[in-house]
A and B are shown apart, each in its own frame.
Chain A
Amino acid sequence: DQQVKQNSPSLSVQEGRISILNCDYTNSMFDYFLWYKKYPAEGPTFLISISSIKDKNEDGRFTVFLNKSAKHLSLHIVPSQPGDSAVYFCAASGTQANAGGTSYGKLTFGQGTILTVHP
């Protein structure tokens, strides 16, 4: 059961245009969402996040939108640059009470979208 889905395996965009990456989730208990960028043979790099109490968060060229009723989030990159070419993962987390204490540290990831920005 895939709780976080990125339905587009790949996206190709021209330099200077907007890149829009999409992500859907099914678990209503998720209350925090993150986007990571990953190059081969490296760990994911944190880009931007949003909590469920907001519907938009902006950081430079990156904006994340959250539509809770649709259980959908998107990452907008404007303008896109060739250096943005990488795999992008969305991830979700929720507060979970366990025997060892309250856990915030479980991220559920989507399958990733390969973004290619052409010069």
Chain B
Amino acid sequence: KAGVTQTPRYLIKTRGQQVTLSCSPISGHRSVSWYQQTPGQGLQFLFEYFSETQRNKGNFPGRFSGRQFSNSRSEMNVSTLELGDSALYLCASSWPGQGGYGTKNIQYFGAGTRLSVL
């Protein structure tokens, strides 16, 4: 079974531009969560989508947005990029729809998109 796929793997943008990152979850998974990893702040939760609905949102400015499509694929968008947005952006999928307590909580991560803002 294919894992979580994120594209592109690397991206270089300049301040003020916008960027869209893509995530394809594991087949059958319906929940997609996004995280930002930076050296200073570690791994921080951005948002979670399930069945095309945002179910949870982290403490990030409105420049960070996302969406999920009917096939569970997800995109996140960052507008008006700032230098501090340089980070590894990780997508994780979960909810295989079977199993006992806690199975829903196991998230499987993609390799990430490394975004550099110049």
Q: Which A positions have Cβ atoms within 8 angstroms of B?
A: 32, 34, 36, 41-46, 49, 51, 53, 89, 91, 93, 96, 98, 100-112
Contact = CB atoms under 8 A, between A and B. Distances in A.
Interface stretch (B13-21, B76-84, B104-112): B104-112
A10 B56 CA distance: 32
Given A43-B90, A89-B43, A109-B43, A104 B109 contact: no
A104 B105 contact: yes
Nearest to A96: B56
Interface size class of B (residues with CB under 8 A): 20 to 34
Nearest to B6: A43
A98 B56 CA distance: 7
Interface string B56-98: 1010000000000000000000000000000010101011000
